[in-house]
Structure formats: C-alpha cells, structure tokens
C-alpha cells in the first residue's frame, strides 16, 4: 500500500503550493512517527502480540493521515498525496525502530 502512495506521489505534477520539501512535510513525518509509536505502545499494553500491535498501529496512523487530508480538502480544497507520502515515511521509520527494539 505504501508503494502505491509513493508511485502516485512521484507521478503527481509539480505544484508550487505543495512542494516536496517544506516545514509541513517534517510535521507530517514526525507526527506520523509519534502516532505509530504511541499506538503500538498502547496496543502492546492491552496484551496484543508484536505483529498485531504493529498492524493496528499502522492502520491507526493511516486513518489519521487520510482523515487529516480529507479535512484539508473540505476546509481548504486541497488533498495532498505528498503529505500522505511523508506520513507513510514517518510511520515506516517508526516501524523500523519498533521492530529493532522489540522485546
């Protein structure tokens, strides 16, 4: 699924109003990493296995990211696949760390 977003994002036409590198992209990255980590920790606390907690955290992070973009579209008229790409990158980075620090 993340690869699909990346393909669509990379093929999106250039936009001056939605550059690939901007302050809001870092916010998307770090917010998604935070949501992924906190969701994982919360789900593990409830007794879910490592794999189930990762899957649940990924689903939670994706729903929040897409929800934010739907809200942006309704409020300002723009839905950014580039923002979602940065969301996926943040969630992926957090997942790599969670897999490597698993207990």
Q: Model confidence over 16-56: pLDDT tens digits? A: 677 788 888 999 999 999 999 999 999 999 999 999 999 99
- 69 in any annotated domain: yes
Enter the tokens of residue 38: 């906190």
Range of the domain at 61: 49-103
Place of tokens 């950014």: 80
Please indicate, yes or no, if residue 66 is contained in any of the structural domains: yes
- Specify whether the backbone of 47 is left (phi greater than 0), alpha (psi in -120 to 50) or beta: left
Mean of per-residue pLDDT scores for the chain: 86
Say how many domains are in the chain. 1
The confidence band for 86, taking pLDDT boundaries of 50, 70 and 90, is very high
Domain contains 35: no
Terminal-to-terminal C-alpha distance of the chain: 27
pLDDT tier at 3, thresholds 50, 70, 90: low
């Amino acid at each position: 699924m993340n690869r699909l977003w990346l393909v669509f994002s990379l093929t999106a036409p250039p936009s001056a109003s939605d550059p690939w590198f901007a302050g809001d992209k870092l916010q998307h990255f770090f917010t998604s990493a935070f949501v992924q980590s906190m969701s994982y920790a919360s789900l593990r606390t409830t007794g879910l296995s490592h794999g189930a907690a990762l899957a649940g955290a990924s689903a939670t992070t994706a729903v929040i990211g897409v929800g934010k973009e739907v809200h942006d579209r309704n409020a300002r008229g723009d839905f950014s696949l580039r923002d979602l790409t940065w969301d996926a990158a943040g969630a992926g980075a957090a997942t790599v760390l969670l897999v490597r620090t698993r207990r």
